[in-house]
Amino acid sequence: MFMLDLVREQLGESTDASPAAEHAYFAGAKLADDEMRDAAAEDQKRRQAERQRQADAERSNLGLGHDIAAGLMDPTADQLDALRRIVCHLVANHCREVIVYGAGWTDRERQQSVGDSGHHEPRHTDAIVSAELQRALDEPDRLRGIAQLTARWGAAFVLNPDGVTRTKALAATGSPASSQTRCPAARIRSAPPCGSSCDPCCPRTSPG
């Protein structure tokens, strides 16, 4: 008891039973609360702005779709010509091997004589692709121009293999004549289904 009385005397026991308030601590806590509220408000504004941008972008994309649909109802001559150029360049750039095979063995203009043997073989790949692309682009009827190029592509699927021989012109460019399978159409048919990593316009050769 003596020790307790001594401690109370040293501490100067107060008659006020309420704990002493630390004003600096509570002031700091209030400042932190204000900062958190401000940060939450800024985050909410940012999220709202992001949702608004997404909504605007979605409306813009749908508006573009409506414009496309309206334009296709009565396309202009320039639009049709642009369509032809897009389609023909895509086919010519991504299906070179197939076009060369189809055109090189079905059109004498795309062939060259083989010495004095009396036989003919397809010209160089670049020459055939360039000529077929230019013929498609020069055709007055735009749809027919697209049809001409795609017809040469389709011809590769129905060629009679007995009339196709190995040629240096095609072999020099890594075309079907230099692969294990002479007809690219055969490799296209055995390619994985659509949606896989294999592009049917660019058939891959079998591993050696």
Of 101, 155, 100, 156, give the one whose Cα is nearest residue 130.
100
- Give how far Cα 31 sits from Cα of 20, 34, 41, 115, Å: 21, 5, 15, 94
Tokens coding 6: 């001594």
Task: Pick the more confident residue, 62 or 5.
Answer: 62
Is residue 204 in some structural domain? Answer: no
Is residue 158 in some structural domain? Answer: yes
- Cα separation, 168 vs 125, whole angstroms: 11
Mean pLDDT of the region 118-128: 90
- Sign of the alpha-carbon torsion through 66, 72, 74, 75: positive
Q: Show Cβ contacts of residue 113 under 8 Å, excluding neighbours closer than 6 positions.
A: 119, 120
Give the model's pLDDT for residue 119: 86
Give me the chain's average pLDDT, please.
77
CA dihedral 39, 44, 48, 51 (to 10 degrees): 100
Give percent of the chain above pLDDT 70: 64
- Give the burial class of 197: count Cβ atoms within 10 A of its Cβ; 0-12 exposed, 13-18 middle, 19 or more buried: exposed
- Give how far Cα 146 sits from Cα of 38, 79, 133, 152, 172, Å: 62, 14, 9, 10, 28
Is residue 183 in some structural domain? Answer: yes
Is residue 64 in some structural domain? Answer: no
Is residue 67 in some structural domain? Answer: no
Is residue 65 in some structural domain? Answer: no
Buried b (16+ CB within 10 A) or exposed e, 132-145: bbebbbebeebeeb
Mean pLDDT of the region 91-113: 92
- Determine the structural domain holding residue 162 and report its residue range: 77-189
Is residue 10 in some structural domain? Answer: no
What would the DSSP string read from start to end of 169-187? HHHTTT-GGGSSSS-HHHH
What's the total number of domains in the chain?
Answer: 1
Is residue 201 in some structural domain? Answer: no
Mean pLDDT of the region 165-169: 59
- For residue 44, the one-letter residue type is Q
> Which helix H or strand E contains 7, and what residues bound it?
helix 2-11
Q: Specify the pTM.
A: 0.58
